[in-house]
């Protein structure tokens, strides 16, 4: 298993910190936006849509975290997470703007 041999280099440390930031916080933001979108778009009654999306969210978040830590390089990962979250977020806010909330 991964053991830091003799003190990781500064670059490695920064990479781990960046990875944790993207993997934990970035994945949470992406999960949050996806959950919001699912809660609006699922073809169910409102309370059911919300509950279904909320119940699924933890599986989604766990999957995203594992994916984030399995990708080779951090920068493309960060760009990918940010772009996906931004795209879904745009759809979500457009949907709220257009149709409003209950």
Partner 1 sequence: MKAGLRQSMAWLHTWAGLVVGWVLLAIFVTGSAAYFQEEITRWMQPEIAAVPDAETATRNAEAYLAKVAPNSPNWFISVPGARSATTQVYWRPAPGEKKARGETQAVLDGQGRPAAARDTRGGFFLYRFHFDLHYMPVMWARYLVGVCAMAMLVAIVSGVITHKKIFTDFFTLRLFKGQRSWLDAHNVTAVLALPFYLMMTYTGLVTLATQYMPFGISAVYADRGTYFDAMFPGGVKAERTGRPVSLAPLEPMFAAARAHWNGAGVGYVSIANPGDASARVTLTRSSADRMASRGETLVFNGVTGRMSSAVDRQGAAARTESVMIGLHAGRYARTALRWLYFVCGLGGAAMVATGLVLWTVKRRLRLPDPERPHFGFRLVERLNIAAIAGLPAGIATYFLANRLLSLDLARRAEWEINSLFIAWGAVLVWAIARPARRAWIEALAATAGLYALVPVVSGLTTTRGLVPSLLAGDWVYAGFDLVMIVAAAAFAYMAWKVARRPAPVARPVKARRAEAAA
Residue ranges that bind partner 1, judged by CB under 8 A? 1-3, 6, 19, 31-33, 35-40, 44-55, 57-59, 61-63, 65-66, 69-72, 74, 92, 96, 100-102
Shortest Cβ 102–partner 1 spacing (Å): 5
How far apart are the C-alpha atoms of 42 and 46, rounded to whole Å?
A: 9
Q: Which is nearer to partner 1, 48 or 86 (CB)?
A: 48
Shortest Cβ 83–partner 1 spacing (Å): 19
Shortest Cβ 39–partner 1 spacing (Å): 4
């Amino acid at each position: 298993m991964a053991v830091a041999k003799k003190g990781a280099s500064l670059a490695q440390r920064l990479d781990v910190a960046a990875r944790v930031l993207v993997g934990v916080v970035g994945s949470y933001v992406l999960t949050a936006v996806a959950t919001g979108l699912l809660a609006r778009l699922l073809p169910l009654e409102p309370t059911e849509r919300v509950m279904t999306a909320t119940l699924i969210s933890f599986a989604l978040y766990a999957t995203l975290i594992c994916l984030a830590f399995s990708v080779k390089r951090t920068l493309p990962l960060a760009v990918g997470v940010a772009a996906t979250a931004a795209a879904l977020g745009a759809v979500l806010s457009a949907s709220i703007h257009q149709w409003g909330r209950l």
